[in-house]
Amino acid sequence: MKAFRFAVLLGLALCLAGCKGRTSEDTFIAAQKALISLESYSATLTYRVMDEEETREYRFNQWVSMPNSFKIKLIAPENLAGKTIVSDGREILIEHSKVEDSIKFNVKSLEQQRPLFIGDFLNSYLLSEEVGKRIHMEEDIEYVILTCPAMDNKALGDSQELWIRVPKMIPVKLINYKDNEDVSSLILFDEFDRSWKPEDNFFDL
């Protein structure tokens, strides 16, 4: 009988310990660590820009190496398919093979016109004192949602929100809002690969 009681008590203790699991704060910390440790990534993106007159949609492959080297290859719309944008962190080269045209700019001259990257959001989040975080469940999927003011690219909005899928802590979308809380742009990340590493000269212009 004593052995039976001991077994029951042990089972209850193990059950309670297992039910405790990971707290919300543990999840937030894991999400932030995943972002901070991100050195490079590749992804396929759907990028929507909304204004009062229309919504423009683009689709492209993206490769990024922190803090500011990147390559973008347009997939859609059809008239832009094949267009490539490459930056080594100092200059940006834009090439359009269909029209055999290319042009080079200083990074600073175009940084307010390009899509936001994960690194842009992370920089704003870490430097801002007005950040938010919450857990959100949608269709039985758990997300960490981080919010902060837009600091790097105010032309695309006033605040931004990054959705991270738990438990692998993979970014799934980045939303920019105007000051009236209307969505100004939306990035949907597909096939996000945080293990991707650039080969030598990958970002050469």
CATH number at residue 91: 2.50.20.10
Per residue in 165-197, pLDDT tens? 999 999 999 999 988 789 999 999 999 999 999
- Counted domains in the chain: 1
pLDDT digits (tens, 9 = 90+) for 194-205: 999 999 999 998
Residue ranges making up the domain that contains 107: 23-193
Q: What is the pLDDT of residue 151?
A: 74
Tell me the whole-structure pTM to 2 decimals. Answer: 0.83
Residue 138 maps to a domain:
yes
Instruction: Output the pLDDT for position 167.
Output: 95
In the chain, DSSP assigns E strands to 40-50, 55-65, 69-76, 84-87, 91-96, 101-106, 132-138, 141-149, 159-165, 170-177, 183-193
Could you tell me if 154 and 133 are in contact, meaning their C-beta atoms sit under 8 angstroms apart? no
Half-sphere exposure (Cβ direction) of 151: Cα atoms closer than 13 Å:
16
* Model pLDDT for residues 108-164, shown as the tens digit of each residue: 766 666 777 898 899 899 999 899 999 999 999 999 999 999 876 556 678 999 999
Band the pLDDT of 42: cuts 50, 70, 90.
very high
